Amino acid sequence: MSIEALERLTFGAKRAEIDAVQKNGLTAWIQEQLHPKQGDPVLDEVLRSAVLKMQYGASEDWGAVNEYRPLGSLQKTTQELWPLTDGQTKMHYAERMRPLNELQVARTLRAVYSKWQIQELMVDFWLNHFNVHAGDASIAVAMPTFERECIRQHGLGNFAQMLSGVAQSTPMLIFLNNRSSRTGAPNENFARELFELHTLGKQHYLNDLYSKWKQVPGADKGAPKGYIDQDVYEAARAFTGWVIEDGRGLGGNTQLPKTGQFTYLESWHDPYQKRVLAQDFDPFSPAMADGKKVLLLLAEHPGTALHLCEKLCRRFVADIPPNSLVTSSAKVWQDNIKHPQQIARVLAHIFASQEFTQALKSPNGKKLKRPLELAASFVRKLELPFAPSMGLVNEIQHTGQRLYLWPTPDGHPDVTEYWLTTQTMRRRWMFPWALMDNWWATGVIAPEHLSKGFALPLDEIALLKHHCELLVGPSKFNDIWTSLVKTLNIPNKRILGADNGEFNNLRHTLAYVGMSPAFQWK
Amino acid sequence: MQRRELLKTFAVGSLAGAANLHSLSFAAQPTTPLVVVFLRGGADSLHIAAPVEDRDYIAARPPELRILSSGATPGIRLPKGFTTELDCRIHPAAAPLLDLFQSGHAQLLHACGLKHATRSHFVAQEILEANTSSANERILSSTPGWLTPYIKANTEKPQTLPFVATSAGQMRSLQGLRSGLSLTGELRWGINLTGEAQAKSVLESLYVGTPMSDPLMQCAQDTLRQLSLLESKAPKTGSAIAAYTPSKDIKYNTENYEWQHAVQTVAQLIRMDIGLQVACVDFGGWDTHEYQTGRINNLVRQWASNVRALFDDVQAASKDVTIVVMSEFGRRLRSNSSNGTDHGHAGALWTLDSRKRKLLPDTQWPGLKNEQLDQGLDLQSTADVKQILDSIAKQTLLG
């Protein structure tokens, strides 16, 4: 089971990872992964030396550009990048959107090279959970900070802390419009999705009760089981004044500075008494106290534990997660509600559970690789050269995974049914071939990449068998190999020259292995 | 599909009544392809079609969030209003639809919504797209798409394409179906197989087995079948699939690449005569909590121009088509402080039908006075949108 678990918990297990797990056991590997202490020198070097093309034609306002640039915005703050949003400064649109493209290619590099694979999978999980569509420059420039300081920082940490960061983050304040919400007629967008998507979930939306808060089960004891529209309206009031410094006018001659950072605007806040989740809020509370109280009520609500644990189990265990595991995970979640490693503890519980082990053996527990996982696992298992490529990012997008560009706040669906259509199938089959033939400038696959450690003269068949087994593992090797031998008339032995042209056959046959059913599942 | 199974499917579904089911297997007249355009995000129906001089309408919103009766860009008066005593107009950017209203091809039903009204996008979309009128989470999540039984009811003919969805991932309305096409971007780039003939024979040998128990197998086999069907039927330039060039008098709006090619793909497939029954086309971006004025203007222009172009394109080839346009809910009557509107209840349905059938009932306009509003906030629903959608699907797909 260890190898199956490893496939589930990585972007494709590499030979070295499989060896380590076979030697030291899965539990030790998981424990290390859940507490990533040291750095990651390999990935750091990859990110430091990576370059991405910038190319556009000349206009009357700028000259033509055609050059490779490092991924310079990943470490920058929102304030440093905010000038890219200034319409007064003339620049090509590609310059304004550059931070988004750097993040997109960095995601592919991290998937392939990161030592901390569970952490990377959790970054993907949380970026979906707190989904923001970054197709707008003002959000794009704030995404590096959002990913660094909200998502990565707390991805294995404490949920309440992450939630608090997200609620004050520039991308969320723009995407769900809280930045323009003010007393009188507040904007409900953020408040509604905070309840429905970020915390309690739609299963706790007691729509039929609408405004009858006293009838919500548990409300009489101050512990309502779910929320109603009235909670959304009141919470929207609580968050009025949570805005960003986007330069907007405040009346008279005053205006907000232009830094893109969070600020609290007292004059926009609705200070009067409120009632959220059967709790009374005093009028005229201190700055931001109303909003913070809403966040804490939601973060610590048992309904949130159930909603989040169900999502975690759906991601890692099965499309229809076992109830018993959701319930026991929610208990671990609540028991560690203030713990700085709350999320890591819940994950450790899930991965050590009977249900997880069962799911890895069951047809109902299958999880399809997401397109990024499909591409990354092909590269990782064959240890192919891999460079930043917007071509690959775009293909991943057309295969249904829109990195940073899912349009609605719910994030991608997490069930096989969504990921399987004729379009995604056709494009999934394209990935291995395109990577092998370097269609998207991810890197030329030269003879030496596939023949390392093999004696001359090279036997093509031995090479093929070796790499085929790396891709699908020993248990699935035979079926696929037998089928390929038959269809392609593969002989028992064939000597390869050093000429790259002769490698076409080899590359394409390995691409077929990447197109096989076995390679589609995690 | 067996008739008995079909009856079972409908019994748990939301079809108005079993009385009409006897006609299912005896199609009275040939069916027409049904194009379902989903305006995702909750389109503000009160900013697309409204009684412009209603006092409560004027009181609830600033002029930039209303359709106006005068000024630089007044709304366009409908030949037949949805409430007789008031001046009913559509957004000026919806101008391309006007003469279809005059000719009787276009219809509008205002104030329709879900019986279990909800202000949640995701619950509302789920109820609208699942084949049930229940709002129960468990029932919803295990129910196929609302269009699924209609497509299954028509015996599958070989060499046909039952549906197309212009999205990469699976469309909820079609859940439970596989053998159709999903496609984004231009059709000509979406149907060739990497590795060509050799890859095809390898894939056919790798993906053998019983598809029923394995969704991947089923999808792979359908993909191979549908791609070779399309490859054989699509018009070519030399050996390559030809680019689509609509005739000059068909005016597609090209501002939004995805949306433009989605509708053009549908037009191409209907013109290709491969038995297309249903097309699902998403057009998102309608969640206008903020800066609604400019956004609605752009959205309505792109929407109206392209459904009109699609309709004209298909008609020019002497084919039939029915287009229905829906959204998960309408928006709040009163605007918010962000120059936008929050989630509401009732919205509007639109149809374009080449046969000028009356597919929508007349609007029962509920009024906009506070006591006439749903919960004092939203346009009251006076028609069950799911029942109406089912009746449209029945008339178009089952004949």
Tell me, yes or no, whether A247 and A377 share the same domain. no
What is the enclosing helix (H) or strand (E) of A220? none
> What is the pLDDT of chain A when averaged over all its residues?
96
- Kindly compute the dihedral angle of the four CA atoms of residues A80, A83, A84, A85, in this order, to the nearest 10 degrees: 120
For helices A503-515 and A422-436, give the axis angle rounded to 10 degrees: 150
> Nearest CB to A413: which of B169, B207, B223?
B169
Give the model's pLDDT for residue B18: 37
Look at residue A46 and tell me if it is in a domain: no
pLDDT in tens, A380-405: 999 999 999 999 999 999 999 999 99
pLDDT at B2: 42
Confidence of residue A217 (pLDDT cuts 50, 70, 90): very high
Q: Which of A315, A273, A407, A352 is nearest to A126 (CA)?
A: A315
Residue A321 has a pLDDT of 97
Does B377 reach chain A within 8 Å, measured CB to CB?
Answer: no
Residue A512: inside a domain: yes
Is the pLDDT confidence value at B291 over 90? yes
**B338·A181 Cβ contact <8 A:** yes
Q: Tell whether A489 is within 8 A of chain B (Cβ).
A: no
What digits encode the pLDDT tens for the residues A464-488? 999 999 999 999 999 999 999 999 9
Q: Is residue A421 part of a domain?
A: yes
Domain membership flag for residue A320: no
Domain match, A511 and A377 both = yes
Provide the pLDDT for residue B6. Answer: 45
Residues of A in contact with B181 (CB under 8 A): 422-423
Q: ipTM of this model?
A: 0.94
CB B120 within 8 A of CB A196: yes
Is pLDDT above 50 for A247?
A: yes
A162-201 residues touching B, CB cutoff 8 A: 176-177, 180-189, 192, 196-197
- Contacts of residue B21, defined as CB under 8 A and 6 or more positions apart, other chains included, come to B7, B10, B15
What pLDDT does B379 receive? 98
Q: Is A251 part of any domain?
A: yes
Same domain, yes or no, for A276 and A375? no
Residue bearing tokens 């178009």: B396
Average pLDDT, rounded, for chain B = 91
Pick from A273, A299, A325: which residue ends a domain? A299
Residues 6+ apart with CB under 8 A from A167: A190, A194, A239, A242, A291, A295
pLDDT digits (tens, 9 = 90+) for B200-212: 999 999 999 877 7
Alpha helix positions (H), chain B: 3-12, 55-60, 98-103, 121-129, 137-141, 148-153, 196-206, 215-233, 257-271, 292-316, 385-393
Give the confidence band of A498 by pLDDT, cuts at 50, 70, 90. low
Nearest CB among B182, B201, B203 relative to A421 is that of: B182
**Cα B397 from Cα B399, distance rounded (Å):** 6
Q: Is residue A287 part of a domain?
A: yes
CB < 8 Å from A in window 316-335 of B: 334-335
Q: What is the mean pLDDT of residues B371-379?
A: 96
Say what percent of chain A tops pLDDT 90.
Answer: 93
Residue A293 has pLDDT above 50, yes or no: yes
Q: Is the Cβ–Cβ distance between A115 and A40 less than 8 Å?
A: yes
Inform me whether the pLDDT recorded for B10 exceeds 50: no
Q: Is the pLDDT of residue A283 over 50?
A: yes
Cα distance between residue A60 and residue A150, in whole Å: 40
Give yes or no for B226 touching A (CB within 8 A): yes
Banded model confidence at residue B26, pLDDT cuts 50, 70, 90: very low
Distance from CA of B151 to the nearest CA of A (A): 17
Domain presence at residue A185: yes
Residue A31 Cα, gap to closest chain B Cα (Å): 33
Q: Which of B51, B56, B57 is nearest to B78 (CA)?
A: B51
**Contact flag B183-A422 (C-beta cutoff 8 Å):** yes
Same domain, A253 and A376: no
**Domain-located, residue A35:** no
pLDDT, one tens digit per residue, over B11-25 is 444 444 333 443 444
- Whether residues A291 and A377 share a domain: the answer is no
Question: Are A507 and A375 contained in the same domain?
Answer: yes
Question: Are B352 and B100 a contacting pair, CB within 8 Å?
Answer: yes
Q: Which of A278, A299, A320 is the last residue of a domain?
A: A299
- Position A496 confidence tier, pLDDT thresholds 50, 70, 90: confident
Digit-coded pLDDT (tens) for A96-143 = 999 999 999 999 999 999 999 999 999 999 999 999 999 999 999 999
> A392 and A507 share a domain?
yes
| CB contact set of A41 (below 8 Å; sequence gap of 6+) | none
**Separation of alpha carbons B93 and B298, rounded Å:** 8
Instruction: Determine contact, residues A52/A67, Cβ cutoff 8 Å.
Output: no
Q: Given pLDDT bands bounded at 50, 70 and 90, which one contains residue A493? A: confident
A389 and A505 fall within a common domain: yes
For the stretch A300-333, pLDDT in tens is 999 999 999 999 999 999 999 999 999 999 999 9
pLDDT tens digits along A363-385: 999 999 999 999 999 999 999 99
pLDDT tens per residue, range B142-201: 899 999 999 999 876 778 999 999 999 999 999 998 789 999 999 999 999 988 899 999
Residue B22: the pLDDT is 39
Residues A417 and A294 in one domain: no
**Same-domain pairing of A259 and A379:** no
For residue A41, with 0-12 CB atoms within 10 Å meaning exposed, 13-18 middle and 19 or more buried, which class applies? exposed
Number of structural domains, chain A?
2
The alpha-helical segments, DSSP class H, found in A352-459 are 354-361, 371-382, 390-398, 416-419, 422-436, 447-451
Residue where one domain finishes, among candidates A299, A327, A351: A299
Residue-wise pLDDT for B61-103, tens only, equals 999 999 999 999 999 999 999 988 899 999 999 999 999 999 9
Instruction: Please write the tens of the pLDDT for every residue from B316-327.
Output: 999 999 999 999
Asked whether residue A290 falls in the same domain as residue A380, the answer is no
Q: How far is the alpha carbon of A185 from chain B, nearest alpha carbon, in Å?
A: 5
Confidence of residue B223 (pLDDT cuts 50, 70, 90): very high
What pLDDT, on a 0 to 100 scale, did the predictor assign at position B4? 42
Mark yes or no for CB contact A483/B206 under 8 Å.
Answer: yes
Domain assignment of residue A294, given as a range: 176-299
Residue of B nearest to A484 (CA): B202
Do A378 and A262 have their domain in common? no
For chain B, say whether A51 makes contact (Cβ under 8 Å): no
The partner residue sitting opposite A433, judged by closest CB among B122, B194, B284, is: B194
pLDDT for residue B9: 45
Instruction: List B353's β-bridge partners, or say none.
Output: B322
Cβ <8 Å between B284 and A417: no
Q: Residue B29: its pLDDT value, please?
A: 66
- Using a CB-CB distance cutoff of 8 angstroms, which residues of chain B are in contact with residue A202? 120, 122-123, 137
